[in-house]
Amino acid sequence: MKLLLTSAGIKNTSIHNTLVDMLGKPIDECNALCIPTAIYAIPNGPVLAWNFISGQEPRCPMCELGWKSLGVLELTALPSIKKEYWLPMVQEADVLLVNGGDPVYLNYWMRQSGLADLLPSLRAVYVGLSAGSMVMAPNIGEDFINWTQSADGDQGLGIVDFAIFPHLDHEDLPTNTMADAEQWAANMPAPGYAIDDETAIKVIDGAIEVVSEGHWKLFTP
């Protein structure tokens, strides 16, 4: 499985080049599916979802990169429709673009929709943005629990064996400092990466590589 776990999308040349290399062909030859689901669980979610889907969120570039085709996969809809309506598109996609928002809410709908079980078998490159990256961890961290209607607590999908603290030292997020990341990591059972918006984590078949034009830190228990 190929994962590109970002804090804020394809923010710089290094991350962009890594994505193209993982795809194995130019972006304009790739069919993409975007998953906005996580964004609905935070304030102003419908507007933010549209900005993501329509490529009007310059702080987090994902959907506007020039894909051959772009579809929307809304996880909350999948349990109520026939699997044959959406499964072939997921299996044939070159890339999944998974938006940020609430990682606990995303974890819930990844499981409820059945996508979580499919992910390891897909050929698509999985590109996560913030919560879309955090959800791949064994645990998200209690500091990030805002949606409380799930019995899973801070559980993630466990597809990777490390956790992610995104938006490190972001000017608009005063509780995302390095000191906050250290406190978060101290309560995590697995290693954790604190990454800023210029950093991504590339994972191919379990091999990890940090791609960065910014700053980051690895914490170990």
Please list the residues that pair with 178 across neighbouring strands: none
Residue pLDDT, tens place only, 70-117: 999 999 999 999 999 999 999 999 999 999 999 999 999 999 999 999
Report which secondary-structure segment, H or E, holds 46. Answer: helix 45-53
User: Mean per-residue pLDDT for 129-146?
Assistant: 94
Whether the per-residue pLDDT at 148 is higher than 90: the answer is no
Kindly report the pTM of this predicted structure. Answer: 0.96
* The two three-digit tokens of residue 65, written as one number: 């990169």
Whether the per-residue pLDDT at 182 is higher than 80: the answer is yes
Query: Given pLDDT bands bounded at 50, 70 and 90, which one contains residue 25?
Result: very high
Number of domains in the chain: 1
Strands of the sheet with 207-212, listed across from one edge: 69-72, 31-35, 95-98, 125-129, 2-6, 199-204, 207-212
Residue 163 main-chain phi, psi, to 5 deg: -110, 165
Burial status of residue 150 (CB atoms within 10 A of its CB: 0-12, 13-18, 19 or more): middle
Q: How many beta carbons lie within 10 A of that of residue 121, not counting itself?
A: 8
Whether the per-residue pLDDT at 134 is higher than 90: the answer is yes
Average pLDDT score, the chain = 96
Distance (Å, whole) CA 217 – CA 189: 16
CATH, residue 16: 3.40.50.880
Q: Quote the domain boundaries for residue 13.
A: 2-219
Report which secondary-structure segment, H or E, holds 202. Answer: strand 199-204
DSSP code at position 139: B
Whether the per-residue pLDDT at 152 is higher than 90: the answer is no
Whether the per-residue pLDDT at 170 is higher than 80: the answer is yes
Strands of the sheet with 216-219, listed across from one edge: 163-165, 192-195, 216-219
Q: Which residues contact 172 (CB under 8 A, 6 or more apart)?
A: none
Q: Which of 17-31, 91-105, 149-163, 178-192 has the lowest mean pLDDT?
A: 149-163
CB 102 within 8 A of CB 147: yes
User: Mean per-residue pLDDT for 166-180?
Assistant: 94
